[in-house]
């Protein structure tokens, strides 16, 4: 069973007391029990050899140098789900002719394979962060900030005050919500220069400064913090880029989701995965979203926009009549693949600010056809490698018939990897 399956419910601890000389069909009983438990799919088992003890016959057994041949007590323990434990007890109970078997309720705090952790436990944030950081100042105008974001194609930038201290983060979402920007960077980077210049001209009329609209305080990390700890923080807060500080509070870098996911592709991570026992690695089937934001190929633009708003997403899967994924539509696709005269109205509609006039464009005409798919038994390491090598943010999980059954994005993947 996977760590998450064991953590989702109260577990059971099975303890078996036997003697060192006990046999089962010609072999030591404890060996036979271990082999049987492994065959039954137990998550793991441990045998402990006692120094001394006595059992039902009241004979004291010790491990002193003069009495090494005596029958020392052995304790076999394992923890697993109640369902699996019931079946295992039925199988092993007849094997324990003389001994004791007890079953207890336990609460699992953490369960993971020591050689399977996809993220390196010995790395600090400073080992993998991006050191060359583009920054803003809190006194910059929103137009100046947007221009810097566009030129560097960065959706989130650290904000410093006059003393060089970190005072916040500015994202394109901040500019959308508080400064009157009309499109996210993912849309803006595909617009023509004339349209971008017009947007910048509008922003220049604003009196707002970066300090007025930024997110403050920023969620941060220290350079000497464990990468695994900070990755979990990013997943919990749903943060894509996180500023990194030294012990004096000075900005020294930025850690992104991609920086973290790249660590799963290291040679050492691949070696750990290759040494993992069968069934140990977590798979996409365990972590995927089963609610899929999908639309049929013949969906019209107005309904596509409604689906964006309904699902609260920036991407939609396009499926054929049999539910197989044939393409993806991003909010940028919906804007850029309509006539130029209609783009502004699509932008407004995507933000829920206006209704969209009826358009003839369909999902099949708006979508990009390159869909990254994987089976539910794909490991997280393999999924990370494929998503990063193809520069994709989404991966569609499909069944044996090619039908979409789940969805993975970088946020879900980071959360799953950081949980190990």
Query: Burial level of 369, CB count in 10 A (0-12/13-18/19+)?
Result: exposed
pLDDT at residue number 4? 45
- pLDDT confidence bin for 240, thresholds 50/70/90: very high
Question: Which residue intervals of 62-209 are DSSP H helices?
Answer: 82-92, 125-128, 142-152, 172-178, 185-188, 193-204
Whether 278 has a pLDDT exceeding 60, the answer reads no
pLDDT at residue number 9? 58
- pLDDT confidence bin for 6, thresholds 50/70/90: very low
- Terminus-to-terminus CA distance in the chain, angstroms? 14
- pLDDT confidence bin for 252, thresholds 50/70/90: very high
Whether 71 has a pLDDT exceeding 60, the answer reads yes
pLDDT at residue number 117? 56
Q: What is the mean pLDDT of residues 7-34?
A: 84
Contact 168, 238 (CB under 8 A): no
Q: What is the mean pLDDT of residues 165-175?
A: 95
When mean pLDDT is compared across 56-65, 182-191, 363-372, the lowest value belongs to 56-65
pLDDT at residue number 216? 94
pLDDT at residue number 269? 61
Contact 158, 133 (CB under 8 A): yes
Question: Which residue intervals of 351-389 are DSSP H helices?
Answer: 363-366, 380-389
Output the average pLDDT for the chain.
Answer: 84
**Same fold yes or no, 125-264 and 284-411:** yes
Fill in the DSSP letter of residue 355.
Answer: P
Query: Which fold, 3-106?
Result: Alpha-Beta Plaits (3.30.70)
Domain ranges of the chain: 3-106, 125-264, 284-411
CATH number of 284-411: 3.10.580.10
**What are the tens digits of pLDDT across the range 374-410?**
999 998 888 999 999 998 999 999 999 999 999 999 9
Q: What is the mean pLDDT of residues 301-305?
A: 90
pLDDT at residue number 155? 93
Contact 5, 283 (CB under 8 A): no
- pLDDT confidence bin for 1, thresholds 50/70/90: very low
A 10 A CB-CB count for 227 gives 24
pLDDT at residue number 182? 76
- pLDDT confidence bin for 3, thresholds 50/70/90: very low
Query: Which fold, 125-264?
Result: CBS-domain (3.10.580)
How does DSSP assign 171-194, residue by residue? Answer: EHHHHHHHS---S-HHHHTTS-HH
**What are the tens digits of pLDDT across the range 190-203?**
877 887 888 888 88
pLDDT at residue number 26? 86
pLDDT at residue number 73? 85
């Amino acid at each position: 069973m996977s760590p998450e399956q064991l953590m989702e419910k109260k577990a059971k601890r099975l303890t078996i007391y036997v003697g060192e000389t006990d046999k089962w069909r010609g072999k030591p009983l404890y060996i036979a029990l271990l082999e049987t438990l492994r065959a039954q799919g137990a998550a793991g088992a441990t045998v402990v050899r006692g120094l001394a003890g006595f059992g039902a016959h009241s004979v004291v057994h010790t491990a002193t140098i003069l009495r090494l041949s005596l029958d020392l007590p052995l304790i076999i323990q394992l923890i697993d789900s109640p369902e699996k434990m019931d079946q295992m007890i039925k199988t092993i109970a007849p094997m324990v002719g003389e001994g004791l078997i007890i079953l207890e309720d336990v609460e699992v705090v953490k369960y993971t394979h020591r050689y399977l952790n996809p993220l390196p436990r010995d790395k600090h944030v400073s080992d993998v962060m991006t050191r060359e950081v583009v920054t803003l100042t809190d006194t910059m105008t929103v137009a100046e900030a947007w221009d810097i974001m566009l030129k560097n194609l960065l959706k989130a930038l650290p904000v410093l005050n006059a003393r060089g201290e970190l005072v916040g983060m500015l994202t394109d979402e901040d500019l959308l919500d508080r400064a009157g920007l009309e499109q996210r960077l993912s849309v803006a980077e595909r617009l023509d220069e004339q349209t971008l210049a017009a947007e910048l001209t509008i922003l220049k009329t604003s009196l707002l400064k970066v300090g007025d609209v930024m997110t403050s305080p920023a969620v941060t990390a220290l350079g000497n913090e464990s990468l695994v700890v900070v990755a979990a923080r990013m997943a919990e807060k749903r943060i894509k880029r996180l500023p990194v500080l030294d012990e004096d509070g000075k900005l020294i870098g930025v850690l992104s989701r991609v920086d973290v996911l790249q660590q799963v592709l290291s040679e050492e991570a691949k070696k750990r995965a290759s040494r993992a026992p069968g069934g140990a690695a977590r798979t996409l089937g365990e972590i995927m979203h089963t609610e899929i934001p999908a639309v049929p190929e013949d969906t019209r633009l107005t309904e596509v926009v409604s689906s964006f708003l309904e699902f609260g997403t920036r991407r939609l899967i396009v499926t054929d009549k049999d539910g197989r994924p044939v393409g993806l539509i991003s909010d940028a696709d919906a804007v850029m693949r309509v006539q130029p005269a209609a783009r502004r109205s699509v932008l407004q509609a995507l933000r829920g600010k206006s209704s969209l006039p009826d358009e003839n464009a369909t999902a099949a005409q708006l979508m990009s056809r390159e869909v990254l798919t994987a089976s539910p038994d794909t490991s997280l390491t393999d999924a990370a490698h494929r998503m990063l090598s193809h520069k994709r943010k989404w991966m569609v999980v499909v069944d044996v018939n090619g039908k979409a059954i789940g969805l993975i994005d970088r946020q879900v993947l980071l959360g799953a990897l950081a949980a190990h």
